[in-house]
Amino acid sequence: AMNPTTTNRLLSLDAFRGFIMLLMASSGFGIAQMAAANPGSFWEFIQPQFAHQAWQGCSLWDLIQPSFMFMVGVAVPFSYAKRREHGQSFFGMAWHALSRSILLVALGVMLATHSGDKHTVFLFTNVLAQIGLGYFILFLLSRMGWEYMVAGIILILAGYSWFFIQQPLPSAQDLAAIAGMKGTEQAILPGFSGHWNIHTNAAAAFDRVFLNKLPQAVPFQFNPGGYQTLNFVPALATMLGGALTGHFLMRSPHTDKRKCATLLIAGIVLVLVGTALDLKVLPVVGAKLDHLTVLPVVKRLWTPSWAILSGGWVLILLSTFHWLVEIAGMRRLVFPLVVVGMNSITIYLLHSLCGGWIRDNLHKHLPDAAFPAQWTPVIERCGVLFVLWLICFWLYRQKAFLKL
C-alpha cells in the first residue's frame, strides 16, 4: 500500500481539484447577471474575476483550465507509482495512457457537438480534447525523469514562441477581413505583439488548413473565441509543470512546511516572470520599440507567457491547499471539496450535459417563492451546483469514481 504521507498529499490535491471543479460548475454564480442588473454595485466590482478576459490579461476565471490541466500532470507520477506497485509493465501503462488520450479527445469532440448539429463537429479546443492531445507525450516524458520534463517545458515554450514569430505580421487586408467581428476590438495588438492577434496568428492559420481536412458542415474559418487546436502544445508545458510538481511532492525528503514554502516561492517567481514578459517595453530613443510586448499573456492562445504566469498562480493556490491540509490539518473543512475532486470528470460531464436540465427541473419542482426576482441568477446557479455536489457525494459514499 502507499504510505500515509502519499495518501495525505493526494487529499490536498483532491481538495484543490475539487475547488477548481466547483468553481467551473458554478457558471460564475450568476455574478455577471447581478452586475448587469446592478450597475455600480459590489457585483460589478467583482464581476471581472468571474469572466474570461477579452484577450490579453488574467482573471480568476481564466485560471480554471490551467489549474485542471496542471492537476492532471500532478496526478501522473502518483498514478504510475501505484501501477508499478501493482506490477503493471511499461507497455501496460503506455497502452492505458494512449487509450486515455483517445477517449479524452473523443469526449471533447462529443461535447463540441451540440443537439442542433446534424453531424459530428470536429473541434479540439475543449479542455478534455486538449488534455487528450498531449497526454501520451506527458506520460512518456514524465517516465523519463525530471530533467526530461524541464527540457520538454523549455523546448515547447521556446519552439511555440518561434512558431508564432515566424508567421508574418497581419497585413492591412488581413485586419480589414476581421474588422467588426465580435470580440476582435481588444484582440488586435500593436506592433510586434500583432503576432498574437486573434484570427491572424500562426495557430489560426494551421486550423484553417487542418480542420478543413476533416468533415465539416461548413468550411472552418474562425473560432469565435479565438481558441486554437494547437493550444495543446503549450498546454502540454502546463501539464509537464504539474508532473514535475507531483514528482517533487512524491519524492522530496523535505518536511511538508518546506515543500509548501518551495511551491509558494516557485509560484511567486513564475508570476513575476510571466508578468515581466507581458509588460510594455518603454520606447527607446532611435529604436522602434514603442508598444513592444515581449510575449503577451493571452489565455485563448495559451501563449508561453500565459503558461508561465498561470502556472505560477496555480502553484500559489496549490501551496495554500497543501498548507490547509498537510500543515494546518483542516481535513473536515476541505471534505466537501475532496468529494468533488475525486470525481472531477464526472462533475465536468454532468455540468456540460445536464446543467440546463437540472436548472429547468428546479423551477418545475420548487415554488416560485424560492426564486425571488432580484436573486434568481444566483439561486439558479447555486441550486444546480448543490445538486451536482449531492451526486458527487452519493458517488463518494458508494466508492464509485469515474476514471479514464
Rounded to whole angstroms, the Cα distance separating 218 from 212 reads 9
pLDDT value at residue 290:
47
Query: Which residues are bridge partners to 298 per DSSP?
Result: 56
* DSSP H helix total and E strand total for the chain: 15, 0
Model-level pTM? 0.90
- The long-range contacts involving 294-297, CB below 8 angstroms and separated by at least 24 positions, are 295/161, 295/196, 296/56, 296/189, 296/193, 296/196, 297/56, 297/57, 297/58
Question: CB-based contacts of 369: which residues, under 8 Å, 6+ apart?
Answer: none
- Residue 404, domain member (yes or no): no
Task: Find the domain containing 25 and state its range.
Answer: 4-397
Question: CB-based contacts of 401: which residues, under 8 Å, 6+ apart?
Answer: 342, 343, 346, 395
Q: Please count the structural domains in the chain.
A: 1
- Residue 402, domain member (yes or no): no
Q: Which residue has the cell 418545475?
A: 364
Query: 302 — alpha (psi -120 to 50), left (phi > 0) or beta?
Result: left
Amino acid type, 21:
M
- Residue 320, domain member (yes or no): yes
- Residue 403, domain member (yes or no): no
pLDDT value at residue 291:
53
| Nearest residue to 203 (alpha-carbon basis) of 159, 238, 240, 171 | 159
Rounded to whole angstroms, the Cα distance separating 268 from 264 reads 6
- Residue 19, domain member (yes or no): yes
Beta carbons of 317 and 67 less than 8 angstroms apart: yes
Query: Could you give the C-alpha distances from 319 to 61, 231, 233, 312, in angstroms and in order?
Result: 19, 26, 26, 11
| Nearest residue to 327 (alpha-carbon basis) of 257, 402, 228, 274 | 257
Q: What is the 3-state secondary structure (H, E, C) of 132-196?
A: HHHHHHHHHHHHHCHHHHHHHHHHHHHHHHHHHHCCCCCCHHHHHHHCCCCCCHHHCCCHHHHHH
- Residue 16, domain member (yes or no): yes
- Residue 360, domain member (yes or no): yes
Query: 171 — alpha (psi -120 to 50), left (phi > 0) or beta?
Result: beta
Instruction: Considering only CA atoms, give the Rg of the chain.
Output: 22
Rounded to whole angstroms, the Cα distance separating 153 from 130 reads 16
Beta carbons of 237 and 157 less than 8 angstroms apart: yes
Beta carbons of 189 and 211 less than 8 angstroms apart: no
pLDDT per residue rounded down to tens, the chain (404 residues): 333 334 344 689 999 999 999 999 999 899 998 988 888 889 999 999 999 998 999 999 999 999 999 999 999 999 888 888 889 899 999 999 999 999 999 999 999 988 788 888 899 999 999 999 999 999 999 999 899 999 999 999 999 999 999 999 988 888 888 887 877 888 888 888 899 999 999 999 999 999 999 998 889 898 989 999 999 999 999 999 999 999 999 888 888 899 999 999 999 999 999 999 987 654 444 445 445 667 999 999 999 999 999 999 999 999 999 999 989 988 999 999 999 999 999 999 999 999 999 999 999 999 989 999 889 999 999 999 999 999 999 999 999 988 87
Question: CB-based contacts of 24: which residues, under 8 Å, 6+ apart?
Answer: 64, 68, 348, 351
Beta carbons of 327 and 256 less than 8 angstroms apart: yes
- Residue 280, domain member (yes or no): yes
